[in-house]
């Protein structure tokens, strides 16, 4: 499980697959893949399952509802905060879940034990390597082709027995209807539908049946 660490992590934060960024200019959560893309002030970008923001803050909040897969280390009690977030990371790894989200606002109180499991929701399932694609693709809409980077994931639905895939198109697409949309990766083309346009200018797409990746 890849973890983006923003700032200087204190002693006690145990992360195996760490992606380090010195600062953060913006961050975007992709609901289709349950991942974050963080952009640093120098334009460097990183995508990972979890973000741990280790920049100092006057707010004691470690995690809050509405911001999944995101933890803060404000530095008010740095080692204790780091140990607590490490316990959260171990929990999501053991569960196999793709999403961890606070049930409310999580704050560590001095001299008081802070449980992990009762404070968080765990949902989703981490995709295997064959069910995840991040790379170039071509989106075709109304006979026009648009090269783009995409990040896609999928799963076999136990109810209808069909493969459902979805993900993010990072480059601009024409406004309007998306009837007849297809997505091509290498020599594989699959019908797709536009789910929504996000506030960040990206597009969420989905499809059912044989995916264009894998």
- Per-residue pLDDT band for 126 (boundaries 50, 70, 90) equals low
* Longest distance between any two alpha carbons in the chain, whole Å: 64
pLDDT of residue 213: 84
> Where do the domains of the chain lie?
2-123, 129-208
The pLDDT tens digits of the residues spanning 179-188 come to 789 999 998 8
The pLDDT tens digits of the residues spanning 4-37 come to 999 988 888 988 888 999 999 899 998 878 899 9
Alpha helices in 41-120 (DSSP H): 78-95
The mean pLDDT of the chain is 87
CA angle, corner 133, sides to 132 and 135, nearest 5? Answer: 160
Q: How far apart are CA 113 and CA 90, in angstroms?
A: 18
Q: Please give the structure tokens belonging to residue 102.
A: 């606070």
pLDDT of residue 105: 95
The pLDDT tens digits of the residues spanning 37-78 come to 999 999 999 999 999 999 999 999 999 999 999 999 999 999
**Residue 151: beta bridge partners?**
134, 168
CATH 3.50.50.60 for domain 2-123, yes or no, is yes
Q: Indicate whether 175 pLDDT > 90.
A: no
**Residue 141: beta bridge partners?**
144
């Amino acid at each position: 499980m890849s973890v983006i660490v923003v700032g200087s992590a204190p002693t006690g934060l145990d992360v195996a697959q760490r992606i380090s960024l010195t600062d953060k200019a913006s961050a975007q959560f992709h609901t289709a893949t349950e991942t974050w893309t963080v952009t640093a002030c120098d334009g460097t970008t990183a995508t990972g399952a979890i973000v741990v923001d280790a920049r100092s803050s006057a707010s004691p909040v470690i995690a809050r509802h509405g911001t999944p897969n995101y933890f803060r280390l404000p530095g008010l009690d740095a080692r204790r905060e780091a140990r607590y977030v490490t316990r959260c990371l171990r929990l999501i790894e053991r569960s196999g879940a793709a999403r961890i989200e606070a049930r409310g606002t999580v704050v560590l109180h001095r001299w008081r034990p802070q449980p992990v499991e009762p404070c968080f929701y765990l949902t989703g399932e981490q995709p295997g390597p064959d069910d995840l694609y991040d790379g170039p693709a071509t989106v075709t809409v109304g006979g026009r082709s648009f090269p783009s980077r995409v990040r896609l994931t999928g799963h076999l639905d136990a109810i209808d027995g069909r493969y459902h895939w979805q993900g993010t198109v990072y480059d601009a697409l024409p406004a309007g209807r998306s009837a007849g949309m297809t997505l091509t990766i290498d020599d594989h083309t699959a019908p797709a539908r536009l789910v929504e346009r996000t506030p960040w200018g990206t597009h969420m797409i989905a499809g059912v049946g044989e995916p264009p990746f894998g």
